Amino acid sequence: MRQSNPQIYVLLLFSPTLELSIKQLRELGENKPLTAIETFNFTEDKSIIEGQWYIDAAEVNQTFADTFKDKTGIETSYAIGNAYDSLMLAYEACESYDGAGKPSAEYIKDYLSSLNNYKGKVGNISVDEKGIFQSQAIVKIIKDGKSVKES
């Protein structure tokens, strides 16, 4: 890795491999910035990534978070908004079917494939021409051992 002289290391690893790799990099004297996609959320010891930026899934809006807590007594946690939106999209696809019997898998696929600016709990959701769901991502930084949304 050093031979290519990277400006930053993108770590696509999960715990505990993530922590072990970071410790090994630091032990080798490698002090370049680190980043990840979501996985910094799952490390227990965030002190090893203090000050590092990463990309995370969008958070739910405050109204949803408050309603969720009122009904369950639990704070919203990582990816709860994505899970809720996924369930609601499947529900709405089925409810939109006006034919006889149950909607086919093909009908549901077509419904979801045409999704454009669905107002989800994590923001607008669309499906691109390749069938990949597009939703907002956010930048976070590790500050004082916590993941903080950068404004």
Share of the chain above pLDDT 90, in %: 77
Q: Give the torsion sign (CA, 97, 100, 105, 110).
A: negative
CB 51 within 8 A of CB 32: no
Q: What is the pLDDT of residue 44?
A: 85
Tell me 136's DSSP state.
-
Q: What is the pLDDT of residue 59?
A: 86
Q: With cut-offs at 50, 70 and 90, classify the pLDDT of residue 45.
A: confident
CB 91 within 8 A of CB 84: no
Helices (H) and strands (E) in the chain, counts: 4, 8
Tokens of 31: 């002090």
The three-state secondary structure class of 54 is strand
One-character DSSP codes across 112-135: HHT--SEEETTEEEEE-TTS-EE-
Domains and CATH numbers, the chain: 2-58+137-149 (no CATH), 62-134 (3.40.50.2300)
- Nearest partner of 38 among 20, 24, 18, judged by Cα: 18
Q: What is the pLDDT of residue 57?
A: 85
Question: Is the model's pLDDT at 73 over the cut of 90?
Answer: yes
Mean pLDDT score across all residues of the chain: 92
Question: Is the model's pLDDT at 143 over the cut of 90?
Answer: yes
pLDDT digits (tens, 9 = 90+) for 82-140: 899 999 999 999 999 999 999 999 999 999 999 999 999 999 999 999 999 998 889 99
Q: Give the torsion sign (CA, 70, 71, 72, 78).
A: negative
CB 138 within 8 A of CB 59: yes
Q: What is the pLDDT of residue 84?
A: 94
